[in-house]
Amino acid sequence: MIRTQLAEREIVSPAALDRSSDISAAWFRSDLLLSQTCSLPFRTQLADRVRIIGTPDIKLGGCPSGHYCSVLLASVDDSRIRVEEFDGAVLGYNEETSQSGWAAPMADAKQRGIAYGGFRKTGSHENSAAAVANGIAEIAAVDAHSWRLIRQYCCCAPKLRVIGRTRHTPGLPLITAQCQLVEQLFDSVSAAIELAEAADLEVLPFRGLIRIPKEHYLRLPEAPSVPDC
């Protein structure tokens, strides 16, 4: 659908998505036409290399358009009911380059005046949820849309409960290295979202494309390094 809209604007695009390349390496390519990145690598590595096309609005309750938050998950068998009770607990996190899985829960802990006592890297939000469900981690942060999908598709979901939410931050931006095409790309993606079928939007629930200034991403707190423990 996006490729059709690009063609209507006389923009040449690949015949199919590139699923073979390492995505983090692709973000640095000079021929990058369209990709989506996390706000943490955008502000720490990409801000001077790419342009933001726009940020998809996924209509999360309690979040402004184009923003998202993380849910903090604990086991249903854990008697603790407040996030503050997890001071010293083991945090499961997907990647240290993740805003929602690492930077957000660490900023949240600082705001609450607590500190996690151990860390388990899991590699994905789904794995973080499973780590809590299986007792490998005591708490984990998963972005709210991933939590929607986990509840729908993953067998570990009934073993989990939400005990808190992080503050909302700007969502995952669409980016390009083709600075001269930003407006055409914005229009193409916006039109494709409007024409998308309901079945597609069940999985990829874009409801529009929002313009969020680059500065809103850059002013987010720096993420700490993972402690050696």
Tens-digit pLDDT profile for residues 113-171: 999 999 999 999 999 999 999 999 999 999 999 999 999 999 999 999 999 999 999 99
Please report the pLDDT score of residue 48 as a whole number.
97
155-198 pLDDT, tens digit per residue, is 999 999 999 999 999 999 999 999 999 999 999 999 999 998 88
How confident is the model at residue 112, as a pLDDT?
A: 98
Structure tokens at 213: 């200034």
Q: Is residue 95 part of a domain?
A: yes
d(CA 196, CA 2): 10
Q: Please indicate, yes or no, whether residues 131 and 192 belong to a single structural domain of this protein.
A: no
User: Do 141 and 188 lie in a common domain?
Assistant: no
Are 101 and 142 a contacting pair, CB within 8 Å?
Answer: yes
What is the structure's pLDDT at 181?
A: 97
Among 17-26, 41-50, 155-164, the least confident range: 17-26
Confidence class of residue 229 from pLDDT cuts 50, 70 and 90? Answer: low
Rg (CA), the chain: 18
Q: How many separate domains does the chain show?
A: 2
Domain boundary among 149, 167, 185: 167
Residue 195 lies in a domain: yes
In a domain? residue 175: yes
Same structural domain for residues 202 and 113?
no
Domain extent, residue 176, equals 2-13+22-61+170-218
Do 80 and 53 belong to one domain? no
Same domain membership, residue 76 and residue 160 = yes
